Amino acid sequence: GIQVEQSPPDLILQEGANSTLRCNFSDSVNNLQWFHQNPWGQLINLFYIPSGTKQNGRLSATTVATERYSLLYISSSQTTDSGVYFCAVLGQGAQKLVFGQGTRLTINP
């Protein structure tokens, strides 16, 4: 099945810094989503981005489907951005999302 790899596994930054999280996938996809898991465990939708670029406030994402990767950018990080960020993909012909292992982001004040 399709493989999803996220990097880096851990990232520690100071408040105000910018960060880039990467998601590589092993095959063509119909769907790609970025989630933020809050401290209570809920997965919060950030982007639904099978291709192209989207922006939402300080967050933006780009998926280059032909090269099988996606990037999540966080600018001017805040302590509330801390948590685990997941990339999940839906392979062609598949019905289930496959998740990467996540990037744990820690923003220190």
Partner 1 sequence: DVKVTQSSRYLVKRTGEKVFLECVQDMDHENMFWYRQDPGLGLRLIYFSYDVKMKEKGDIPEGYSVSREKKERFSLILESASTNQTSMYLCASSAPGARGNTEAFFGQGTRLTVV
The token pair at 32 is 């790609």
Q: Tokens representing 97?
A: 């999302």
Tell whether residue 96 is a contact of partner 1 (CB under 8 A). yes
Q: Tokens 């790609």 sit at which residue? A: 32
- The nearer residue to partner 1, 18 or 101, going by C-beta atoms, is 101
Q: Which is nearer to partner 1, 65 or 71 (CB)?
A: 65
Select the residue interacting with partner 1 from 39, 40, 57, 67 (CB under 8 A).
40
Shortest distance (Å) from residue 39 CB to partner 1:
11
The one-letter code for the residue type at 20 is T
Minimum distance from residue 103 beta carbon to partner 1 (Å): 12
Q: Are strands 19-25 and 69-74 parallel, antiparallel or unpaired?
A: antiparallel
Q: Check: CB of residue 4 under 8 Å from CB of residue 51.
A: no
Type of residue found at 46: L
Q: Which residues bind partner 1 (CB under 8 A)?
A: 30-31, 33, 35, 40-43, 45, 48, 50, 86, 88, 90, 92-97, 99-102
